[in-house]
């Protein structure tokens, strides 16, 4: 776990390194690359095997940013359940990530973020840090220089409103009556992505109550002009979408004053039922922290006491998101990724040559089979006749299995010789049928829902942070295509439509956009292996363009890296400090494209070998996972293990992809 940027907290963000096409080439170690890769893979496999839980799963820490820790402390303050040890442990973690300029970033080596800095500042104030302390004075000065509280995102200002630091009247209106909108209506709750709807429904309850629990201090030092903290903004042109939704928000504020009270009361009850029905067995909601936090607040405002079983289970689930790097420091995970980590670890170990009937792999398959979801969830609103059969990302999230995990779990199951092949066959058949049924109209796949593509939710003034819809993406589509091809279904109509969509989505430079990983290296590292597995020859123009792009952005040291700023600044596309996971993604694409003996591959393999630690792992402080492009970034701590091991294993073994294991090809065709 890394708590500082390079050179210490607040060090300037690194410049994008030069690619090999514009700088002197890294000297290539001629000969012995296969043996070195094999030794590195063996060390990595031993390290990964040792990290397996006795129950069969793997889970690495999921590191995001200090808003998770800050909001956890704010929640405890709001509910009156704070305790000194938790508060001080969280404060230590928050302080450790502050930059020298006083701000907090949202990813390693990233620039300061206004909302994250405001939330960190008020959390530290709650922990007892004084405004006069040097690190706090630096933070407040940075906030004022960056525009003050008025420039923060809506979610940050909602947290401030809970404590009287911001006026509820100055926030966008979100009425609970939205729960009644039919699914054909553009702004019904199922028009939002699953993570957004799980957050929005409880937030409508919070916004309806507009609670204020006055804080023990003010935050005037965070306003650019304390006398006028929220100056009036000029209206957007009426003919624009922004102007239309601004006026809709004004109408909703008026509705709050004149609306039918009985309708509001029944809507709040309907929201409460919706929330409670979606609570998971472990007490959480959706397996992610933000909906759980807001659901607890909403239910409490509706009269559910803190010792009520639903609320108590929710609070207990939040404690399970805590990671203690040491006994005095506490970090909050936004989510936990055991299914994702386990299927990727299984693929990595199998591709590195671990016996397909190894007890660790069999145990992992047993655990994954037990995690398959066999009951309908919110996805069935769009696909009411589809039988369930997917996997979720987390330990408990039966309402929201996802297409990406399901595809990768199947690819993992195909690699293992399980003593009960019939059980595996049945699970794969259910999974493939569900994934195929979740294909969107355009031939591609999103993460959680089918055809979740309405442009309207993103226009709401309320939705100024992160993605709120779940359109198809190249990386998810590629994983499904690869899964179908591995089952001998490369000529199936569903597969061919996915291939056509992928080919149409290739960028002019030869890369693919990465929705759930950073960024074009991830998208390209997903798309090329899938297309080749599905039958595209390595001489296909799309494959050759991808190869040329990857070669052009290889770093001088032989690795690959891409900064998160590539989502908003084209200068960063394919550029950044070399990382183990991104180097592996590039290698997986190049290997599948027939480039095993190329200089680029040998240099990339050598980079992985040379940067491996003696215990078989790699350091990777940089964030290479994506929650929301541009807004929410993730450092999956197991990525630094599973992807390098997969790449080294495939290089050392020099075997074709698509190991079928004990599942009959074509049997799962839907």
| Contact assessment for residue 53 and residue 588, using Cβ atoms and an 8 Å cutoff | no
pLDDT for position 457: 81
Which residue reads 């472990």 in tokens? 282
Residue 5 binned pLDDT confidence (cut-offs 50, 70, 90): very low
| Contact assessment for residue 474 and residue 510, using Cβ atoms and an 8 Å cutoff | no
Spatial distance between the Cα atoms of 648 and 645, rounded to a whole number of angstroms: 5
Spatial distance between the Cα atoms of 624 and 612, rounded to a whole number of angstroms: 18
- Which tens digit of pLDDT belongs to each residue from 206-221? 999 999 999 999 999 9
State yes or no: is 225 an active-site residue. no
Residue 314 binned pLDDT confidence (cut-offs 50, 70, 90): very high
Q: Residue 583 in 3-state DSSP?
A: helix
Q: Residue 493 in 3-state DSSP?
A: helix
- Which tens digit of pLDDT belongs to each residue from 415-427? 999 999 999 999 9
| Contact assessment for residue 63 and residue 322, using Cβ atoms and an 8 Å cutoff | no
For 240-271, what is the HEC assignment? CHHHHHHHHHHHHHHHHHHCCHHHHHHHHHHH
pLDDT for position 14: 41
DSSP string, 69-103: HHHHHHHHHHHT---HHHHHHHHHHHHHT--TTS-
Could you state, in order of their start, the residue ranges of all structural domains in the chain?
Answer: 36-60+337-453+474-653, 63-332
Buried/exposed 520-559: b ≥16 CB within 10 Å, e otherwise:
bbbbbbbbbbbbbbbebeeebebbebbbebbbbbbbbbbb
Which one has a higher pLDDT value, 578 or 15? 578
Spatial distance between the Cα atoms of 616 and 44, rounded to a whole number of angstroms: 4
pLDDT for position 15: 45
pLDDT for position 159: 96
Residue 269 binned pLDDT confidence (cut-offs 50, 70, 90): very high
- Average pLDDT of the segment spanning 227-255: 77
Q: Determine what percent of the chain is predicted with pLDDT higher than 70.
A: 92
Spatial distance between the Cα atoms of 131 and 121, rounded to a whole number of angstroms: 9
- Find, among 229, 264, 81, the residue nearest to 157 by Cα: 229
- Find, among 413, 488, 407, 484, the residue nearest to 448 by Cα: 407
For 119-160, what is the HEC assignment? HHHHHHHHCCCCCCCHHHHHHHHHHHHCCCHHHCCHHHHHHH
With a cut of 60, say whether residue 13 has pLDDT above it: no
Spatial distance between the Cα atoms of 148 and 118, rounded to a whole number of angstroms: 9
Q: Which helix (H) or strand (E) segment is 542 a member of?
A: helix 541-552
With a cut of 90, say whether residue 151 has pLDDT above it: yes
Spatial distance between the Cα atoms of 602 and 604, rounded to a whole number of angstroms: 5
Q: Residue 213 in 3-state DSSP?
A: coil
Residue 517 binned pLDDT confidence (cut-offs 50, 70, 90): very high
User: How many CB atoms sit inside 10 A of residue 389's CB?
Assistant: 21
- Average pLDDT of the segment spanning 58-78: 96
Q: Residue 522 in 3-state DSSP?
A: helix
Q: What is the CATH number of domain 36-60+337-453+474-653?
A: 1.50.10.20
- Which tens digit of pLDDT belongs to each residue from 433-492? 999 999 999 999 999 999 999 888 877 767 677 688 999 999 999 999 999 999 999 999
With a cut of 90, say whether residue 579 has pLDDT above it: yes
pLDDT for position 132: 97
Output the CA torsion 372→342→594→599 (10° steps). Answer: 160
Q: Residue 548 in 3-state DSSP?
A: helix
pLDDT for position 121: 98
**Which residues, listed in sequence order, are joined to residue 398 by a DSSP beta bridge?**
none
pLDDT for position 21: 36
pLDDT for position 61: 96
Pick the range with the lowest mean pLDDT from 342-351, 432-441, 508-517, 622-631.
622-631
Spatial distance between the Cα atoms of 13 and 5, rounded to a whole number of angstroms: 8
Within 13 Å, how many C-alpha atoms sit on residue 663's CB side? Answer: 29
With a cut of 50, say whether residue 29 has pLDDT above it: no
- Average pLDDT of the segment spanning 269-294: 93
User: How many CB atoms sit inside 10 A of residue 301's CB?
Assistant: 17
* CA dist 210 → 54, 175, 342, 666 (Å): 46, 11, 42, 56
- Average pLDDT of the segment spanning 335-348: 97
Question: Which of 72, 113, 351, 404 is flagged as catalytic?
Answer: 404
pLDDT for position 237: 80
Output the six-digit token pair for 399.
Answer: 């309402």
- Find, among 5, 642, 1, 637, the residue nearest to 335 by Cα: 637
With a cut of 60, say whether residue 16 has pLDDT above it: no
pLDDT for position 455: 82
- Which tens digit of pLDDT belongs to each residue from 80-98? 999 999 999 999 999 999 9
Question: In the CATH hierarchy, which fold is given to the domain comprising 63-332?
Answer: Glycosyltransferase (1.50.10)
Pick the range with the lowest mean pLDDT from 233-242, 427-436, 440-449.
233-242
**What is the radius of gyration, based on Cα positions, of the chain?**
25
Output the six-digit token pair for 464.
Answer: 């100024």
| Contact assessment for residue 225 and residue 295, using Cβ atoms and an 8 Å cutoff | no
- Which tens digit of pLDDT belongs to each residue from 373-414? 999 999 999 999 999 999 999 998 899 999 999 999 999 999
Residue 252 binned pLDDT confidence (cut-offs 50, 70, 90): confident
pLDDT for position 489: 97
- Torsion sign, CA atoms 39, 45, 46, 48: positive
Which residue reads 């980590």 in tokens? 341
DSSP string, 386-449: PPP--B-SSSS-TT--BHHHHHHHHHHHTTS--S-HHHHHHHHHHHHHHHHHT--TTS---SSS
What residues have CB less than 8 Å from 260, skipping those under 6 apart? none
- Which tens digit of pLDDT belongs to each residue from 524-549? 999 999 999 999 999 999 999 999 99
Spatial distance between the Cα atoms of 112 and 146, rounded to a whole number of angstroms: 9
pLDDT for position 670: 42
pLDDT for position 597: 94
With a cut of 60, say whether residue 23 has pLDDT above it: no
With a cut of 50, say whether residue 372 has pLDDT above it: yes
pLDDT for position 351: 97
Residue 10 binned pLDDT confidence (cut-offs 50, 70, 90): very low
- Average pLDDT of the segment spanning 362-370: 98
- Torsion sign, CA atoms 174, 177, 179, 184: negative
- Which tens digit of pLDDT belongs to each residue from 581-604? 999 999 999 999 999 999 999 999
Same fold across 36-60+337-453+474-653 and 63-332: yes
pTM above 0.85, yes or no: yes
pLDDT for position 273: 96
- Which tens digit of pLDDT belongs to each residue from 555-569? 999 999 999 999 999
Q: List helix spans (H) across 352-396.
A: 359-371
Which one has a higher pLDDT value, 4 or 69? 69
């Amino acid at each position: 776990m890394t708590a500082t940027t390079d050179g210490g907290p607040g060090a300037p963000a690194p410049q994008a390194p030069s690619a090999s096409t514009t700088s002197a080439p890294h000297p290539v170690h001629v000969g012995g690359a296969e043996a070195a890769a094999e030794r590195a893979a063996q060390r990595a496999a031993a390290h990964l095997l040792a990290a397996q839980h006795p129950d069969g799963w793997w889970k690495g820490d999921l590191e995001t940013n200090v808003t998770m820790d800050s909001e956890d402390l704010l929640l405890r303050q709001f509910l009156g359940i704070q305790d000194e040890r938790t508060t001080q442990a969280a404060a230590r973690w928050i302080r450790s990530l502050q930059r020298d300029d006083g701000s907090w970033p949202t990813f390693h080596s990233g620039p300061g973020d206004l909302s994250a800095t405001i939330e960190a500042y008020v959390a530290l104030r709650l922990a007892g840090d004084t405004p006069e302390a040097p690190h706090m004075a630096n933070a407040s000065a940075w906030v004022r220089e960056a525009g003050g509280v008025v420039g923060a995102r809506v979610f940050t200002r909602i947290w401030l409103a809970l404590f009287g630091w911001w006026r509820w009247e100055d926030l966008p209106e979100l009425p609970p009556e939205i729960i009644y909108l039919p699914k054909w209506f553009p702004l019904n709750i199922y028009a939002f992505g699953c993570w957004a709807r799980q957050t929005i429904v409880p937030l409508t309850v919070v916004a309806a109550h507009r609670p204020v629990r006055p804080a023990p201090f003010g935050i005037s030092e965070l306003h650019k002009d304390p006398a006028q903290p929220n100056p009036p903004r000029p209206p957007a042109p009426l003919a624009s979408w922004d102007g239309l939704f601004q006026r809709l928000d004004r109408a909703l504020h008026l509705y709050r004053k004149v609306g039918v009270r009985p309708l509001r009361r029944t809507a709040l009850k309907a929201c409460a039922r919706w929330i409670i029905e979606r609570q998971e067995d472990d007490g959480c909601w959706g397996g992610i922290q933000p909906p759980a936090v807001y659901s607890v607040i909403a239910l409490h405002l509706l009269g559910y006491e803190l010792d009520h079983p639903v609320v108590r289970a929710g609070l207990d689930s939040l404690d399970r998101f805590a990671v203690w790097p040491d006994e005095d420091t506490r970090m909050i995970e936004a989510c936990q990724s055991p299914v994702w980590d386990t299927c990727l670890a299984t693929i990595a170990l199998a591709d590195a040559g671990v016996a397909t009937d190894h007890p660790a792999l069999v145990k992992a398959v047993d655990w994954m089979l037990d995690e398959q979801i066999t009951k309908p969830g919110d996805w069935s609103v769009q696909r009411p006749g589809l039988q369930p059969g997917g996997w979720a990302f987390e330990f408990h999230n039966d309402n929201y299995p996802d297409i990406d995990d399901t595809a990768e779990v199947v690819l993992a199951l195909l690699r293992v010789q399980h003593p009960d092949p019939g059980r595996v066959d049945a699970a794969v058949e259910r999974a493939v049928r569900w994934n195929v049924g979740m294909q969107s109209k355009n031939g591609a796949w999103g993460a959680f829902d089918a055809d979740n593509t309405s442009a309207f939710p993103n226009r709401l003034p309320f939705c100024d942070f992160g993605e709120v819809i779940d359109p198809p993406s190249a990386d998810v589509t590629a994983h499904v295509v690869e899964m179908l091809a591995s089952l001998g279904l490369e000529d199936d109509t569903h597969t061919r439509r996915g291939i056509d969509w992928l080919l149409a989505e290739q960028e002019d430079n030869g890369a693919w956009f990465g929705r759930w990983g950073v960024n074009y290296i991830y998208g390209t590292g997903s798309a090329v292996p899938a297309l080749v597995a599905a039958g595209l020859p390595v001489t296909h123009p799309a494959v050759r363009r991808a190869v040329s792009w990857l070669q052009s952005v290889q770093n001088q040291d032989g690795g690959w890296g891409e900064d998160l700023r590539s989502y908003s600044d084209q200068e960063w596309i394919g550029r950044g400090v070399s990382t183990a996971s991104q180097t592996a993604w590039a290698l997986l694409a190049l290997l599948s494209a027939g480039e095993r003996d190329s200089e680029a591959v040998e240099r990339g393999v050598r980079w992985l070998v040379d940067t491996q630690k003696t215990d078989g792992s790699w350091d990777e402080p940089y964030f290479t996972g994506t929650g929301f492009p541009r807004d929410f970034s993730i450092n999956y701590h197991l990525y630094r293990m599973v992807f390098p091991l997969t790449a080294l294993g495939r290089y050392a073994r020099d075997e074709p992809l698509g190991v079928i294991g004990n599942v009959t090809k074509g049997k799962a065709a839907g």
